[in-house]
Amino acid sequence: MADEMLYVHYETVSNYVLSKGIAVKDDTKLVRKVPENLLLIDGRKNIGTFDSHTGFQIIKGQDNVKAFFQNGIDKPTAFGKWIDFVNVEMLHLLTPIEISEILYIAHAHTHLHSPFYYKLQNNYIYLTLPNGFTKMYYRYLDQFHDLFAEAITERMVEKINQKKRFFQKDKFIKPFPVESVKEFIPIFKEGAVISFKQMRFDNGLYFIPLFIAEDRYASVGSYFNEKDSVGTIIYDCGHDEWKFQIDFE
């Protein structure tokens, strides 16, 4: 079963999202435009081609990048660690210091200077972290909204159909509205947990509580005190409608 506790920490200074439980079910939601090439910085040798200038494997061409993304669906660690880049010629202009900075990102999971390199023209850095966490740098942070909306929808589909009999059809769930995700940014900045584990049902309505975990990562999988809820996501089965309230400023 997929994670029942979703965690999102939005960092608007460095433009990254630290998350857990936001599984990629549709590779088109991972990035809005398929990158031209990928620089694989996790030390793998069994994929792509070796680039002698950087010492990393690279995946060249959008078709190959798309295949790499598709192969990673439903495999939490398959995406590994990568940075997109525009062309090999500019990649080969990276200095030893810049290459060492990229090595540092892969090792320490954080950046020394800007995570967006002029020579790479990268829009993303994707890092698979221990314990199921993922860190992704976005040149444009709102691109994460598609992933979050998909994750909420997928979890609700799973929960609502969890106890159906094998001969019953899956119940329809209206996709969570992407345009509403921006309303969650204040709690994302604090480190938000969306607890499907503590979801309750009442009179045709599903209530999913929201909590603040900040940087207490070990608490993400635990039950939270209902009194500490900072909001609720509501799904109305009768009207196929999403609602939410956020009691946090």
Q: Is 13 among the domain residues?
A: no
Domain that holds residue 116: 32-122
Question: pLDDT tens, 10-28?
Answer: 999 999 999 998 877 777 7
Residue that wins the pLDDT comparison between 45 and 206: 206
Q: Is 137 among the domain residues?
A: no
Is the same domain home to 241 and 167?
A: yes
What is residue 163's predicted lDDT score, i.e. its pLDDT?
67
Is the same domain home to 91 and 168?
A: no
Using alpha carbons only, give the angle 180, 70, 80 rounded to the nearest 5 degrees: 85
Q: What integer best gives the mean pLDDT of the chain?
A: 89
Residue that wins the pLDDT comparison between 165 and 69: 69
What is residue 241's predicted lDDT score, i.e. its pLDDT?
94
Q: Is 17 among the domain residues?
A: no
Is the same domain home to 112 and 185?
A: no
Question: pLDDT tens, 155-213?
Answer: 999 888 876 666 567 778 899 999 999 999 999 999 999 999 999 999 889 999 999 98
Examine the fold and report which residue of 58, 90, 122 is the final residue of a domain before the chain moves on. 122
What is residue 222's predicted lDDT score, i.e. its pLDDT?
78
Question: pLDDT tens, 104-149?
Answer: 999 999 999 999 999 999 999 999 998 889 999 999 999 999 999 9
Is the same domain home to 177 and 104?
A: no
Q: Is 127 among the domain residues?
A: no
Name the band, by pLDDT with cuts 50, 70 and 90, for residue 74. Answer: low
Is the same domain home to 149 and 116?
A: no
What is residue 164's predicted lDDT score, i.e. its pLDDT?
62
Is the same domain home to 186 and 224?
A: yes
Is the same domain home to 181 and 219?
A: yes
What is residue 1's predicted lDDT score, i.e. its pLDDT?
41
Q: Is 139 among the domain residues?
A: no
Examine the fold and report which residue of 92, 122, 152 is the final residue of a domain before the chain moves on. 122
76: closest CA among 23, 142, 130, 144? 23
What is residue 234's predicted lDDT score, i.e. its pLDDT?
96
Is the same domain home to 101 and 189?
A: no
Is the same domain home to 170 and 96?
A: no
Residues 6+ apart with CB under 8 A from 69: 24, 27, 30, 31, 34, 79
Q: Is 25 among the domain residues?
A: no
Out of 5-9, 75-79, 90-94, least confident range: 75-79
Is the same domain home to 107 and 153?
A: no
Is the same domain home to 148 and 242?
A: yes
CA–CA separation, 54 and 38 (whole Å): 13
Token pair for 127: 């890092």
Q: Is 7 among the domain residues?
A: no
193: closest CA among 175, 165, 215? 215
Q: Is 196 among the domain residues?
A: yes
Name the band, by pLDDT with cuts 50, 70 and 90, for residue 65. Answer: very high
Q: Please report, rounded to a whole number, the percentage of residues in the chain having pLDDT higher than 70.
A: 93
Is the same domain home to 82 and 51?
A: yes
- Domains of the chain: total: 2
